[in-house]
Amino acid sequence: MEIMKDNLLLHDQYNIIIVDWSGGNGAPYTQATANSRVVGAEVALFIKKLIRLKNVTPMDCQIIGHSLGAHIAGYAGERLTNLGRITSLDAAQPYFQFMPPSVRVDPTDADFVDAIHTDSASDKFLPLGMSQAVGHIDFYPNNGMSQPGCSYSAIHSIFLDGLIDAVRQFVACNHQRAVDFYLYSINYKKILPVAYQCVSWNAFSNGHCSDCGNDGSRCALLGIQADKYKPYINDSRSVKMYLATSNSPPFWTYSYQIQVKLSKPKTNYEDKAGYLTLKLYGSENTYNLQLSSKTGNLIHGATYTFLVHKTKQLGELQSVIFSWTSSSWNFFKTHTLYLDFVKIVPMNIDNQKQQRLESRKFCYTPGRAIKSKNEIILAECK
């Protein structure tokens, strides 16, 4: 939390108070759970004293809590009138999941409650964090579980930090990621961590949710700027947002939705099986992308969407090369495919109008066949 404090002070002029309850958050966990209620009440009393003696406006106050600290924030918030914001960082799951709102952090505890979920499930241990939505807006980076880099970081930590710290890292890495994500949302400005509202992680990762909506209510910034979503909140329901991250700091990726529309020629044609290849040439880097549908089939007239995440910036898109490779075993036949267009939509923009301006669409000659493994330079659509 010292690192968090330092980054917040670099961001703006804040009065920051760190709550040290190390005397009450140790083993056994059942006792720490009970103690969290007491700590929440003490935090509320302290804020009330600031309001009374220093004329502090509660709407200007934000409580950031990790794990049990998220529920402490909730206990404090329910005792205060008009608390401005609570940020829940992977709220603790044991004894809190699916419990009544009075037991856990929930949207009624502050004017705006945002939550980041990073350990709602784990491959080797019981999840430490909640999968249940607890805020006005709930972010699920990487589906809120199995964070990239966590399995590797524990092994790496053995050599850097020793066995004890490595074990702690292995057990709690996913749980800790919520803190890391919030930390890197404060001052890292090169990439915006834009999350998108979607019906599920699968739908998001298949490229079906890349639209902020005309009013901007279908996307939000994870972390410190999440409160920009406040005009759209609904006290009767939580909104779930998804985004993908990389496996190491600063964690944010350059993300793109790729749309590939196959044309349906008037002449005789056959649907194909195979995969697509795109080469995107930008002013900063080149992306070589191999894309395939779930079934591996390529149906003429269909539109396929894909989600691409890169750690290196593409820059201004200059040209696109398209090719495809047939997976047919019939080597004595010429395999052809018909393409309509390829559209590239940048997803690190939280403004619908700007996103549309920066999207690029590249077309191919209608009715002209593309042989398997032939590379075609596409022209920007007019």
pLDDT of res. 173: 93
Is residue 247 predicted with pLDDT exceeding 90? yes
Q: Could you count the other beta carbons within 10 Å of the beta carbon of residue 52? A: 9
Active-site hit among 36, 67, 210, 292: 67
Which among 164, 109, 100, 99 has a CA at the least distance from the CA of 135?
109
Active-site hit among 36, 66, 71, 90: 90
Q: Which range, 22-31, 117-126, 288-297, is most confident?
A: 22-31
Give me the percent of the chain exceeding a pLDDT of 90. Answer: 84
pLDDT in tens, 42-99: 999 999 999 999 999 999 999 999 999 999 999 999 999 999 999 999 999 999 999 9
- Backbone phi, psi, residue 119, to 5°: -140, 50
CA dihedral of 53, 39, 145, 16, whole degrees rounded to 10: 30
Confirm whether 90 is a catalytic residue: yes
Q: What is the pTM of this model?
A: 0.92
Report the pLDDT averaged over residues 132-138: 97
Which among 206, 188, 213 has a CA at the least distance from the CA of 308?
206
Answer whether 369's CB lies under 8 Å from 322's CB. no
With cut-offs at 50, 70 and 90, classify the pLDDT of residue 330.
Answer: confident
pLDDT of res. 190: 94
Q: What would you report as the CA-atom Rg of the chain, rounded to the nearest whole angstrom?
A: 24
Confirm whether 109 is a catalytic residue: no
pLDDT of res. 1: 82
pLDDT in tens, 334-343: 889 999 999 9
pLDDT of res. 125: 57
pLDDT of res. 152: 54
pLDDT in tens, 160-213: 444 444 445 557 899 999 999 999 999 999 999 999 999 999 999 999 999 999
pLDDT of res. 367: 86
Question: What is the residue-averaged pLDDT of the chain?
Answer: 92
Confirm whether 215 is a catalytic residue: no
CA–CA separation, 237 and 232 (whole Å):
11
Active-site hit among 66, 71, 117, 175: 175
CA–CA separation, 19 and 42 (whole Å):
10
Is residue 159 predicted with pLDDT exceeding 70? no
